[in-house]
Amino acid sequence: MRFSRASFLLAGSLLMAGPAFGQTQCTVPPPASSATPITKPVAPAPTDAVQRLVQSGNEVLWVSPQHGLQTGIAHGDNQLLVFFTPESHAFILGGTMIPVPYDQLRSLMGKRATDLEAYHDIKGMFVRNGDRFQVVYAMPDGEAAIAGTLWDAAGKNVTRQQIRYIPGAVPTVRIDVPESAKATAGNLSQQIYAGTIGREGAPEVIMFIDPRCSFSIRAMQVLQPAVDAGKLRLRVVPLSLLDYEDAGASTRYAKAMTSLPADAGMVQAWTSGGLSGVLDQPAPQAQARLDANMAAAKAVALTGTPTFFWKHKDGSLGRLDGVPADPDRFIGEIRQ
């Protein structure tokens, strides 16, 4: 997952910047103006997306409803989010409003847009402009659109799930290493705490993941057959990068992984949903192990997950950012 901002063009002019996907998988919510605060709910309901924002330590400000949805601003120490939500608060749509009818936008986008499955009757499309991507949703009255991201009441990123299988939405292979990473290539394996899975002697790859990242999960699904066939050995390194959008769950799951022994059991617990037993009682050394992994990720200029590193036969470092589009080609690269 790369972290950056992106924009796309409509009829030759700049339309907006907002949460982007594809080459940019995780973005920070856009800024907004101030408004009049409201009182925080006293009894948060687990099915209420707005109350979940409050539970996460945000104050919610309401402004005038827009195009059939309530409109608010959530702000806290680490985020500021302009959001739109139905009266039921079943979901939150965060992003920037486009004052153009959705159907008109869809017509102008033509083949550059891929329609998404409607969510709570909200239509959406995945739009590409060259190597830049954007997801756009229709407002209920159809008279405007939102370039942004959908979250459900439990805090799950619905947008990421909607686009995960769209060709081109997942980052393509890029094999290189920045200058800042070359100094640490030789001792990267000694700096990390990882769960190892796969046959000894098989080509080994270091795989940086966030346990809550759907692209990390997808990458593991793509590579698991090669691991099972003895063609690949993975050292899976847990990181916590998504706390800003999942209320700290990223760190909880990463610490649960680093609480486990550095063997295949750690990876299997992650992929099978078996981390619940240690989520609330991490090992005393879990935080230190996670800190070491985060420091290693910073040292190699990691910008998101999943990211892969391996050594070529000539001693140089190979790198891939994102889900391997072709597992066989990927394994061929790491054998070189």
In this structure, what token pair is assigned to residue 221? 């699904």
User: Can you give the pLDDT at residue 6?
Assistant: 30
Residues 6+ away with beta carbon under 8 Å from 39: none
User: Can you give the pLDDT at residue 77?
Assistant: 67
In this structure, what token pair is assigned to residue 55? 């539970």
Phi, psi of 238 (to 5 degrees): -75, 135
DSSP secondary structure of 17-66: EE---SS----PPPP----EE-PPPSS--TT-HHHHHHHTT-EEEEEEEE
Amino acid (1-letter code) at residue 31 = P
Please give the C-alpha separations between residue 169 and each of 7, 123, 181, 232, 277, in angstroms, as whole numbers.
15, 18, 26, 25, 34
Q: Find residue 206's DSSP bridge partners.
A: 235, 309
pTM for the predicted model, two decimal places:
0.52
Amino acid (1-letter code) at residue 127 = V
CB 217 within 8 A of CB 188: no
pLDDT digits over 298-313, tens only? Answer: 888 787 889 999 988 8
Beta-carbon-side half-sphere exposure of residue 144 (alpha carbons within 13 Å): 14
Write down all domains in the chain, each with its CATH number in brackets. Answer: 6-163 (no CATH), 179-334 (3.40.30.10)
CB 295 within 8 A of CB 191: yes
User: Can you give the pLDDT at residue 258?
Assistant: 96
Reply yes or no: is the peptide bond before residue 306 cis, omega within 30 of 0. yes
pLDDT digits over 81-90, tens only? Answer: 899 999 999 9
Pairing of strands 204-209, 233-238: parallel
Note down pLDDT in tens along the chain; length 336 residues: 333 323 322 322 223 333 333 333 333 223 344 344 444 444 444 578 898 888 777 889 999 999 999 999 988 765 688 999 999 999 999 989 999 999 999 999 999 999 999 999 999 999 987 657 789 999 999 999 999 889 898 888 888 788 876 765 544 333 334 444 443 444 676 789 999 999 999 999 999 999 988 889 989 999 999 999 999 999 999 999 887 667 788 899 999 999 999 998 999 999 998 998 889 899 999 999 999 999 888 888 787 889 999 988 887 888 888 888 888 999 998 888
